Amino acid sequence: MKMKVLRRTALLCSALACVAAAAYFMVSEPASAEAGGAGRRLTDVLTDSISEIVADAPGEIGVALIINNSDTVTVNDRSVYPMMSVFKLHQAMALCDDFDRKGMSLDSTVSIDRSSLDPKTWSPMMKEHKEPVISLTVRDLLRYTLILSDNNASNMMFKQMVSAAQTDTYVATLIPRASFQIAYTEEEMSADHGKAYSNYTSPLGAAMLMNCLFTDCPLSDSSRLFITTTLQECATGKDRISAPLIDKAGVAIAHKTGSGYISEDGVLTAHNDVAYISLPDSVNYTLAVFVKDFKGNESQASDYVSRISEAVYSLLNTQP
């Protein structure tokens, strides 16, 4: 009888220990899987936070977020957003791939007749080089497009190196065909602003391409390193995704912007930014924000982009 009591007591203690262990592991799940103390998935909280910001925008705002090359969040993700100069990222990757395959160097020199350039378009290159024949390397031209979004440099490379159609075909090997299209150059869009809508993307398509560049890119190591480091020097659109992150210790930002035309009735065609962001706690994320047909000025559009970036950072940053 005494042995039975002891056996039952042992079994009860063992069961209680299992329950306690299970309770411990349930409480000790990683905080990143939940948010707000209510057991909600972080991706759901992010979706709700972003949706709340864009809900009252005087235009359509699409957002895509890829966290640690895994979890994905999208809001208003449709393939209808004019890319504008964001497509210079696509162009750079296509051109570098072409040079890699042909064994050509980005340090090859190109001679540009100044008279062939458009003096009315956005072109820091043209302002900095007054000589009749401008001599630059392909690397220089790419830096002008990625850092300063130079239109003349982009047009010249489309005409003489890798066309818009070739760029479109190459990028379709990296991200879904239905998520984007590149049909026209900056020169063609400048002549007919309506063509900007034919160079379109979904926010997720743009985020996937940027994420691919930083995580699993088929480019050579040297080409990939060149593009990724150059994007960290991007000087345009610092009031967008970068704005709430610039003063944050240990945060690295690489991004590409795109800015649209303002129609006769004051509507802003596009105001975009796509970035790859590294936090000091090993969290990396790609954030794409595309603003379309915005009834307001560029500063107001930038404010929406900045608020989205700040909300995402606040929820993903685990540092005190």
Residue 69 neighbours by CB under 8 Å, 6+ apart: 211, 215, 216, 284
Burial class (CB in 10 A: 0-12, 13-18, 19+), 80: middle
CA distances from 298 to 44, 250, 270, 284, 294 (A): 29, 29, 9, 28, 9
Whether the CB-CB separation of 92 and 129 falls below 8 Å is answered with no
Q: How does DSSP classify residue 131?
A: S
- Site of tokens 């990396």: 284
Q: How many whole angstroms separate alpha carbon 301 and alpha carbon 304? A: 5
Comparing C-alpha atoms, which of 204, 224, 209, 203 is closest to residue 106?
Answer: 224
Identify whether 85 is a catalytic site residue.
Answer: yes
Q: β-strand 81-82 against 71-75: which pairing, if any? A: unpaired
CB neighbours of residue 127 within 10 Å: 11
Question: Using an 8 Å Cβ cutoff, are 123 and 151 in contact?
Answer: yes
Is 286 within 8 Å of 276 (Cβ atoms)? yes
In the set 85, 202, 223, 259, the catalytic residue is: 85
Q: What residues act catalytically?
A: 85
